[in-house]
Chain A
Amino acid sequence: MFSRTQTILIPVISVVLGLLIGAVVMLVSGYNPIEGYSALLRGSLGDSFYIGETIRQITPYIFAGLAVAFAFRTGLFNIGVEGQLLVGWIASVWVGLAFDLPKIIHLPMAVLAGAIAGALWAFIPGLLKAKLRVHEVIVTIMMNYIALHLVNYLVRYVISDQQNTTSRVPESASLKSPFFEALTEFSTMHYGIFLALAGAIIYYVILEKTSTGFELRSVGFNQNASQYAGMNVNRNIILSMVISGAFAGLGGAMEGLGTFGYAFIHGAFSGVGFDGIAVALLGGNVAIGVVLAAALFGILKQGALIMPLQSGVPTELVEIVIAIIIFFVASSYIIAYLLQRFKKGAQ
Chain B
Amino acid sequence: MDYVIEMLNIRKEFPGIVANDNITLQLKKGEIHALLGENGAGKSTLMNVLFGLYQPEKGEIRVKGEKVNITSPNIANDLGIGMVHQHFMLVDTFTVTENIVLGMEPKKGFTIDMKKAERDVKEISDRYGLRVDPKAKIADISVGMQQRAEILKTLYRGAEILIFDEPTAVLTPQEIKELIQIFRTLIAEGKSIILITHKLKEIIEVCDRVTVIRKGVGIDTLDVEGATPNQLASLMVGREVLFRTEKTEAEPKDVVLQISKLNVNDARGVRAVRDLDLTIRAGEILGIAGVDGNGQTELIEAITGLTKISSGSIKLSGKELSSYKTRKITEAGVGHIPQDRHKHGLVLDFPIGDNMVLQTYYQRPYSKLSMLNNKEINKQAKKLINEFDVRTPSEYTQARALSGGNQQKAIIGREIDRDPDLLIAAQPTRGLDVGAIEFIHQRLIDQRDKGKAVLLLSFELDEILNVSDRIAVIYEGNIIAVVNPKETTEQELGLLMAGSKKKEEGDIKHV
Contact = CB atoms under 8 A, between A and B. Distances in A.
B52 interface: no
Nearest to B330: A230
Contacts of B327: 230-232
B358 A218 contact: yes
Contacts of B338: 228
A29 interface: no
Interface stretch (A153-161, A166-174, A219-227, A301-309): A219-227
A225 B358 contact: yes
A210 B349 contact: no
Given A227-B306, A229-B359, A230-B326, A210 B371 contact: yes
B350 A228 contact: no
Given A225-B347, A228-B306, A211 B326 contact: no
A209 B367 CA distance: 9
B325 interface: yes
B194 to A, nearest CB: 27
A212 interface: yes
A8 to B, nearest CB: 16
B386 interface: no
B346 A225 contact: yes
B348 A222 contact: yes
A61 B306 CA distance: 41
A228 B372 contact: no
B370 interface: yes
A212 to B, nearest CB: 6
A239 B188 CA distance: 58
A228 to B, nearest CB: 4
Interface string B347-381: 11110001000110110001100111000000000
A232 B327 CA distance: 9
Contacts of B345: 225, 228
A226 B367 contact: no
A226 B347 contact: yes
Contacts of A333: none
A211 B361 CA distance: 7
A179 interface: no
B321 to A, nearest CB: 13
B409 interface: no
Contacts of A231: 327
A214 B372 contact: yes
Contacts of A212: 370
A3 B14 CA distance: 11
B326 A225 contact: no
Interface residues of B, number: 30
A211 B347 contact: no
Nearest to B328: A230
Contacts of A228: 304, 306, 326, 336, 338, 344-345
B372 A210 contact: yes
Interface string B47-66: 00000000000000000000
B325 A214 contact: no
Interface string A205-216: 000011111110
A244 B325 CA distance: 27
Contacts of A221: 347-350
A214 B354 contact: yes
A232 B371 CA distance: 19
Contact of A210 (B328, B331, B336, B370): B370
Interface in B1-55: 15
Interface string B303-342: 0101000000000000000000111111100001010000
Interface in A178-237: 209-215, 217-218, 221-222, 224-232
A204 to B, nearest CB: 13
A179 B195 CA distance: 74
A3 B361 contact: no
Nearest to A219: B347
B343 interface: yes
A222 B398 CA distance: 14
A56 B338 CA distance: 52
A230 B331 CA distance: 9
B344 A225 contact: yes
A198 to B, nearest CB: 18
Nearest to B368: A211
Contacts of B366: 211
B370 A224 contact: no
Nearest to B357: A214
B361 A214 contact: yes
Contacts of B304: 228
Contacts of A209: 371-372
Nearest to B366: A211
Nearest to B305: A230
A217 to B, nearest CB: 8
A227 B326 contact: yes
A223 to B, nearest CB: 10
B367 A218 contact: no
A218 B362 contact: no
Nearest to B331: A230
A3 B15 contact: yes
A203 B331 CA distance: 30
Nearest to A213: B372
A224 B344 contact: yes
A127 B345 CA distance: 27
A116 B329 CA distance: 35
Contacts of B326: 227-230
Given A211-B371, A224-B343, A225-B358, 17 more contacts: A210-B372, A211-B366, A211-B372, A214-B362, A221-B349, A222-B347, A222-B348, A225-B346, A225-B347, A228-B326, A228-B338, A228-B345, A229-B330, A230-B327, A230-B329, A230-B330, A231-B327
Interface of A: 3, 209-215, 217-218, 221-222, 224-232
Pairs A-B, 6 closest by C-beta atoms: A230-B327, A228-B344, A229-B358, A211-B362, A230-B326, A211-B367
28 contacts: A3-B15, A209-B372, A210-B370, A211-B362, A213-B372, A214-B354, A214-B362, A214-B372, A215-B362, A217-B350, A221-B348, A221-B350, A222-B343, A222-B346, A222-B348, A222-B349, A224-B344, A225-B343, A226-B347, A228-B304, A228-B306, A228-B336, A228-B338, A228-B344, A230-B326, A230-B327, A230-B331, A231-B327
